[in-house]
Amino acid sequence: MAILVTGGAGFIGSHTCVELLNAGYDVVIADNLYNASEKAVDRVKQITGKDLKFYKADIRDKEAMNEIFEKEEIESVIHFAGLKAVGESVVKPLEYYENNIAGTLVLCDVMRNHGVKNIIFSSSATVYGDQKPPYVETMPKGECSNPYGWTKSMMEQILTDCAKADSELTVVLLRYFNPIGAHSSGKIGEDPQGIPNNLMPYVSQVAAGVREQLTIFGGDYPTPDGTCRRDYIHVVDLACGHVKAVEYADSHKGVEIFNLGTGTPYSVLEIVHAFEKSTGVKLNYRIGERRPGDLPDSWA
């Protein structure tokens, strides 16, 4: 029996595959390589010294997905596949709804047709909207500020409704805070195309001389140093959270929500100074305008 990891060649997916293989699970990846490279899959094999099955497949392609479920004995699905750039989702809402929602509908249908009863879903703290942190799982969801966030909120609802209709189905909704970092082997990590949207890859690229200067988005927020605070969680800790979720799903039914964060916020300036201290590299940065849609504070 194997775990199907959709989007398993991506940043969080590849780290999760390492932890699943290390924990003794068989792994099957389905990824269309839209935002990843098959090299990451080879690196996962190198790191673990274990084999896995890779299918270059789009989760919206029902025929391809059916073929995977027919060939492989899938016991649980971890569903990472999706588009994730917040700014791009504002410009291309239809592409985001189509890829994320339609893909999830096909995946759920194929799972149902093959009697697969466990799904662990990559959700996001963004579903809490603009409320006062700390965010806890029992809070009602809030208004999302962009189409990407709404796809996450809607997919949570779709999976919850599927579990209401099928009492045998287990749905684990994992709400990630801010995943950062890379595997200690240095073989896999976050490698965004073009100009990074997220803080840590931008900081790394400035330190490496790929980009000239980091702009800190806003220095006048109502926070201790005026810059936004976030709950940054190491990607390997996040990956281990998925192994725990697979174990949890084996012995529970219905829907459960878990935040994956640390509970401790750090400001942008604190992150910049911690990076400088641990690498010994001085970062060229300036304080600029606020970025539209940013919340001052977010933590689990």
d(CA 239, CA 126): 19
d(CA 115, CA 109): 10
Map residue 223 onto helix, strand or coil.
Answer: coil
Is 78:3 a contact under the CB 8 Å cutoff?
yes
Q: Which is nearer to ligand NAD, 131 or 197 (CB)?
A: 197
Q: For ligand WQD, which stretch binds (CB under 6 A), given 44-52, 90-98, 182-190, 198-206? A: 198-206
291 binds, among ligand WQD, ligand NAD, none (CB under 5 to 8 A by kind): ligand WQD
Nearest CA among 13, 6, 48, 64 for reference residue 31: 6
Binder to ligand WQD among 20, 199, 207, 249 (CB under 6 A)?
A: 199
Q: Which is nearer to ligand NAD, 159 or 253 (CB)?
A: 159
10 binds, among ligand NAD, ligand WQD, none (CB under 5 to 8 A by kind): ligand NAD
Other CB atoms within 10 A of residue 295 CB: 17
Active site residue 25: no
Q: For the chain, where are the alpha helices, taking DSSP H only?
A: 11-22, 38-48, 62-71, 86-91, 93-96, 103-113, 147-165, 199-207, 235-250, 268-279
Interface with ligand WQD: number of residues (CB under 6 A)? 18
86 counts as binding ligand WQD under rule CB under 6 A: yes
131 counts as binding ligand WQD under rule CB under 6 A: no
- Annotated catalytic sites, by residue? 148
Contact residues for ligand WQD, defined by CB under 6 A? 84, 86, 124, 126, 178, 197-199, 202, 214-217, 228, 230, 268, 291, 294
